[in-house]
């Protein structure tokens, strides 16, 4: 009788593991935010030892990946175009077909089809499209919707940065 109960327990554990992997792969996942490139939206330095000790952990939804449904201002998780093993979190500053003025070389570029322009909210400490150019939409792993940890910062993520994006989006008209 004990082996039947052990087998039933094992089936439940395996089923739960498969469901967890499927949900994480296709629907939502939780990721830690490392570094200060998105401060003050994530990992703000307030002087409190609690907030300086722990990284923010965020909820990432993946429904947007079906038809690449993104908007300017969305915070996205994506694979680095320079190292596909590295994951980055930045805000979309420009969408395919839009014109972006870059500050570092006073250049104006049109974002190619199938790409977007991403920037960190903390421009002084962000490696983003100003460094590596537009990123392919296919590198995006999902959209950040909520801060889950630490508990005192729990809440939804706003589409607009607290201090504004650094690049100049240009109106071609």
Question: Structural domain boundaries of the chain?
Answer: 29-170
Task: Please tell me the pTM assigned to this model.
Answer: 0.76
What span, in angstroms and rounded, lies between the C-alpha atoms of 111 and 91?
15
- Upstream peptide bond of 150 is cis (omega within 30 degrees of 0): yes
29-170: CATH number = 2.10.109.10
Return the pLDDT at 27: 73
Q: Is the pLDDT of residue 49 over 70?
A: no
Task: Return the structure tokens found at 89.
Answer: 């979190």
Using pLDDT thresholds of 50, 70 and 90, give the confidence band for residue 158: confident
Instruction: Return the SS3 of 24.
Output: helix
Instruction: Return the SS3 of 26.
Output: helix
Instruction: Return the SS3 of 49.
Output: helix
Give the HSE-up count for residue 127: Cα atoms under 13 Å, Cβ half-sphere: 11
User: Which DSSP letter does residue 112 get?
Assistant: P
pLDDT in tens, 78-98: 999 999 899 999 999 999 999
pLDDT in tens, 6-23: 777 777 777 665 665 555
Task: Return the structure tokens found at 46.
Answer: 């307030």
63-72, 133-142, 148-157, 164-173: which range is least confident on average?
164-173
Cα–Cα distances in Å, from 3 out to 6, 8, 9, 13, 74? 5, 9, 10, 15, 51
Is residue 69 annotated as part of the catalytic site, yes or no?
Answer: no
Is residue 5 annotated as part of the catalytic site, yes or no?
Answer: no
Q: Which of 9, 12, 24, 37 is catalytic?
A: 37
Q: Please give the share of the chain, as a percent, with pLDDT higher than 70.
A: 76
Exposed e or buried b per residue across 124-133, where buried means at least 16 C-beta atoms within 10 angstroms of its C-beta: eebebbbeee
Give the HSE-up count for residue 21: Cα atoms under 13 Å, Cβ half-sphere: 6
- Closest listed residue to residue 161, CA positions, set 83, 102, 74: 74
Q: Which of 90, 129, 166, 167 is catalytic?
A: 90
């Amino acid at each position: 009788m004990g082996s039947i109960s052990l087998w039933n327990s094992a089936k439940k554990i395996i089923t739960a593991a498969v469901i967890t992997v499927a949900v994480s792969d296709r629907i939502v996942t939780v990721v830690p935010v490392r570094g200060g490139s998105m401060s003050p939206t994530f990992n703000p330095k307030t002087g409190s030892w609690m907030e300086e000790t722990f990284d923010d952990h965020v909820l990432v939804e993946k429904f947007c990946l079906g038809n690449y449904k993104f908007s300017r201002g969305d915070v996205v998780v994506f694979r680095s175009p320079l190292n596909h093993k590295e994951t980055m979190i930045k805000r979309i500053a420009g969408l395919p077909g839009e014109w972006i003025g870059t500050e570092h070389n006073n250049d104006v570029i049109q974002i190619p089809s199938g790409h977007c322009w991403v920037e960190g909210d903390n421009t002084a400490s962000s490696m983003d499209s100003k460094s590596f150019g537009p990123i392919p939409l296919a590198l995006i792993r999902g959209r950040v919707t909520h801060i889950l940890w630490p508990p005192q910062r729990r809440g939804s993520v706003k589409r607009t940065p607290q201090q504004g994006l650094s690049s100049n989006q240009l109106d071609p008209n």
